[in-house]
Amino acid sequence: MSDFSEIIETLKQNTPEEKQFHQAVEEVAADIGDELRAHEDYRANRVFERLLVPDRIIQFRVSWLDDDQNIQINNGWRVQYNNALGPYKGGLRFAPNVRLDTFKFLGFEQTFKNALTGLPMGGGKGGSDFDPKGKSEHEVMRFCQAFMQELYRHIGSDRDVPAGDIGVGNREIGFLYGAYKQLTGRHEAVLTGKNPGFGGSCVRKEATGYGCVYFLMNMLAHCDDDIKGKRCAVSGAGNVALYTAKKLIERNAKVVTLSDSQGYIIKNDGFDFEELEQIIELKEQKRGTLADFEAENVRYHEGKKPWGEDFEIAIPAATQNEVSGADMAKMIDGNLEIVCEAANMPLQAEAREKAQEKGIVIAPAKAANAGGVAVSGLERSQNAMHLSWPAEKVDKRLRKIMKQIHKDCVACAQDGKRPDYIQGANIAGFRRVADAILAYGVV
Ligand SMILES: NC(=O)C1=CN([C@@H]2O[C@H](COP(=O)(O)OP(=O)(O)OC[C@H]3O[C@@H](n4cnc5c(N)ncnc54)[C@H](O)[C@@H]3O)[C@@H](O)[C@H]2O)C=CC1
Ligand SMILES: O=C(O)CCC(=O)C(=O)O
């Protein structure tokens, strides 16, 4: 291996626009140096360098008609990042701020995350700069159909299996799957996150959030602590945030905040189940904003983030880089003990450094939010067997997978009661992918 910093410098020179991708790569590189030094075969076979280039990038135009019969044009991407461990697997994101950089960083992260699940899945990610917000139901449907018109030829149950992410939930997966079925005449496990009534898995919708809480519970148990009574600040009010909140409340933690792109709500004593169900309905059915939510002792702060409130556990569950260095400084000045990354790469590099300097324990996204893709893996298995498992069985397997991920992270992290989970996740994920790459030879 040539010098590590040289590899990263070359990457930056070759892809100067891709700042998020560089950030994700640097976070992994910071932890796997010893691993590379210890493995002459990884170095000789340039495994790390090979992991810095996606297997394939597909980019396409999506043309569709809005409700006024105007022609609209969007960009579509699928980054098939690495299939060493299985077919490409990872979500589709529909959001106006995405670009190739977004999908490269997400695909890179997904490759290691999927490795941590122990299931046979490679990493991929994709989506479009289409913004579903403010679009009619028919516009979303026509967009999904136009998007699939190109994507269908690149995916397949043993090739590439997309799922949801920001802006792509159960509704969009339904439209995408309907279009795939229409185009190919096939029912197959080509998308996950389908409705449990027709090909989906029970608990997939809840799995990312529930998995985060299971991971947190394993972390707390590891240092003889408990989630009960902990004050948790959750950001976001989408799929991941809402089901993280639900499981936290079920386990008697206090969820004091939720947020969306316009502001946050706080309830000092923690939201109860009934309030959470109302918020879920507001977001999933009415597609409203948190500003519309009213309940006793709940305050709304427009245009602000929740990180200055009083809590022990921060759970950023909205989007990448949502927590700045200044946000982290506020949390550290408060009672922060743990950050659980429910979103992908939610901490800016400065925020991560500040937290690490102060000994705050961080559950990295690769490990903490792997429950979603893990249940997607279980959905693939059920589809392959033409079976549908009950919710209890899926949830039990999810708990087992999250426990094992925690165990693997601890085994690969520096010793101690409070292990470095970031390091543990990076090493455990990297080893699995690297060993498969070695086994295949130079391809
Ligand atoms: N859906 C899934 O199964 C998985 C999602 N993730 C990650 O979790 C995060 C959230 O994804 P989902 O909940 O699926 O998306 P979603 O579309 O259901 O919800 C996203 C939420 O974040 C809020 N948001 C977006 N940008 C924001 C900003 N700049 N500031 C504050 N709030 C903002 C939105 O208002 C919305 O409430 C993303 O990072 C995603 O990549 C990770 C693993 C699996
Ligand atoms: O369920 C999946 O395949 C993908 C989930 C995802 O996009 C993620 O883990 O970030």
Q: Which of 321, 352, 368 is the last residue of a domain?
A: 368
What pLDDT shows up at residue 416?
67
Going by alpha carbons, the residue nearest to atom 18 of ligand 1 is: 238
Q: In the structure encoding, which two tokens stand for residue 418, read together?
A: 């409070």
Residue 98 inside a domain? The answer is yes
Residue 386 inside a domain? The answer is no
Residue 437 inside a domain? The answer is no
Claim to verify: residue 80 and residue 121 sit in the same structural domain? yes
The rounded distance, in Å, linking the Cα atoms of 361 and 313 is 10
Residue 4 inside a domain? The answer is no
pLDDT at 312 > cutoff 70: yes
Going by alpha carbons, the residue nearest to atom 3 of ligand 2 is: 90
The rounded distance, in Å, linking the Cα atoms of 140 and 274 is 30
Claim to verify: residue 223 and residue 359 sit in the same structural domain? yes
In which band, very low, low, confident or very high, does the pLDDT at 55 lie, cut at 50, 70 and 90? Answer: very high
Tens of pLDDT, residues 203-262: 999 999 999 999 999 999 999 999 999 999 999 999 999 999 999 999 999 999 999 999
Length of the chain: 443
Q: How far is the CA of 292 from the centre of ligand 2 (A)?
A: 29
Going by alpha carbons, the residue nearest to atom 30 of ligand 1 is: 261
Residue 394 inside a domain? The answer is no
Q: In the structure encoding, which two tokens stand for residue 257, read together?
A: 């905040």
Question: How many Cα atoms are found within 13 Å in the side-chain-facing hemisphere of 102?
Answer: 22
Tens of pLDDT, residues 354-366: 999 999 999 999 9
Pocket of ligand 2 (CB under 6 A): 89-91, 110, 113, 163, 165, 192, 344, 369, 372-373, 376
pLDDT at 415 > cutoff 80: no
Closest to 27 in 3D by CA, of 98, 105, 91: 105
pLDDT, average across residues 55-74: 98
pLDDT, average across residues 317-327: 98
Pocket of ligand 1 (CB under 6 A): 164-167, 169, 208, 236-241, 259-261, 317-319, 322, 342-344, 369, 372
pLDDT at 191 > cutoff 80: yes
**Ligand 1 probe mutation, 106, 206, 240, 259, most atoms within 8 A of CB:** 240
How many other CB atoms are there within 10 angstroms of residue 140's CB atom?
Answer: 18
Give the Å distances, CA to CA, from 299 to 235, 295, 315: 15, 8, 19
Indicate left, alpha or beta for 167 from its phi (over 0: left) and psi (-120 to 50: alpha).
Answer: left
Q: Which residues are catalytic?
A: 125
pLDDT at 414 > cutoff 90: no
The rounded distance, in Å, linking the Cα atoms of 369 and 391 is 19
pLDDT at 267 > cutoff 60: yes
Q: Which atom of ligand 2 is nearest to the CA of 375?
A: 1
Average pLDDT, the chain: 96
Instruction: Output the pTM of the full model.
Output: 0.97
Q: Binding site for substrate, residues?
A: 89, 110, 113, 164, 376
pLDDT at 435 > cutoff 70: yes
Claim to verify: residue 126 and residue 230 sit in the same structural domain? no
Residue 23 inside a domain? The answer is no
Q: Which of 368, 395, 427 is the last residue of a domain?
A: 368
Instruction: Give the 3-state secondary structure of residue 232.
Output: strand
Claim to verify: residue 181 and residue 230 sit in the same structural domain? no
CATH number, residue 234: 3.40.50.720
Q: Binding site for NAD(+), residues?
A: 208, 239
Instruction: Give the 3-state secondary structure of residue 71.
Output: strand
**Ligand 1 probe mutation, 89, 108, 239, most atoms within 8 A of CB:** 239
pLDDT, average across residues 53-79: 98
CATH number, residue 149: 3.40.50.10860
Answer yes or no: are the C-beta atoms of 233 and 311 closer than 8 Å. yes
Q: In the structure encoding, which two tokens stand for residue 45, read together?
A: 């076979």
pLDDT, average across residues 3-27: 94
Q: Which atom of ligand 2 is nearest to the CA of 165?
A: 7
Q: Which of 193, 216, 233 is the last residue of a domain?
A: 193
Answer yes or no: are the C-beta atoms of 403 and 217 closer than 8 Å. no
Helix pair 100-117, 391-412: axis angle to 10 deg: 90
Question: Residue 378: CB partners within 8 Å, gap ≥ 6?
Answer: 119, 201, 389, 394, 397, 398
Claim to verify: residue 117 and residue 72 sit in the same structural domain? yes
Residue 92 inside a domain? The answer is yes
In which band, very low, low, confident or very high, does the pLDDT at 5 lie, cut at 50, 70 and 90? Answer: confident
Claim to verify: residue 185 and residue 297 sit in the same structural domain? no
What pLDDT shows up at residue 1?
46
What pLDDT shows up at residue 258?
98
Claim to verify: residue 141 and residue 224 sit in the same structural domain? no
**Ligand 2 probe mutation, 172, 373, 380, 394, most atoms within 8 A of CB:** 373
Looking only at the bridges linking them, the beta strands covering 254-260 and 263-266 are: antiparallel
pLDDT at 177 > cutoff 80: yes
Q: How far is the CA of 350 from the centre of ligand 1 (A)?
A: 21
Provide the domain limits for residue 271: 205-368
Claim to verify: residue 187 and residue 210 sit in the same structural domain? no
In which band, very low, low, confident or very high, does the pLDDT at 160 lie, cut at 50, 70 and 90? Answer: very high
Instruction: Give the 3-state secondary structure of residue 163.
Output: strand
pLDDT, average across residues 20-29: 97
Q: Which atom of ligand 2 is nearest to the CA of 344?
A: 10
Residue 83 inside a domain? The answer is yes
pLDDT, average across residues 115-136: 97
Claim to verify: residue 172 and residue 237 sit in the same structural domain? no
Claim to verify: residue 217 and residue 182 sit in the same structural domain? no
Question: Residue 438: CB partners within 8 Å, gap ≥ 6?
Answer: 41, 42, 45, 47
Claim to verify: residue 185 and residue 222 sit in the same structural domain? no
| Total number of domains in the chain | 2
Closest to 117 in 3D by CA, of 362, 398, 342: 398
Claim to verify: residue 104 and residue 76 sit in the same structural domain? yes
Q: How far is the CA of 261 from the centre of ligand 1 (A)?
A: 10
In which band, very low, low, confident or very high, does the pLDDT at 62 lie, cut at 50, 70 and 90? Answer: very high
In which band, very low, low, confident or very high, does the pLDDT at 3 lie, cut at 50, 70 and 90? Answer: low
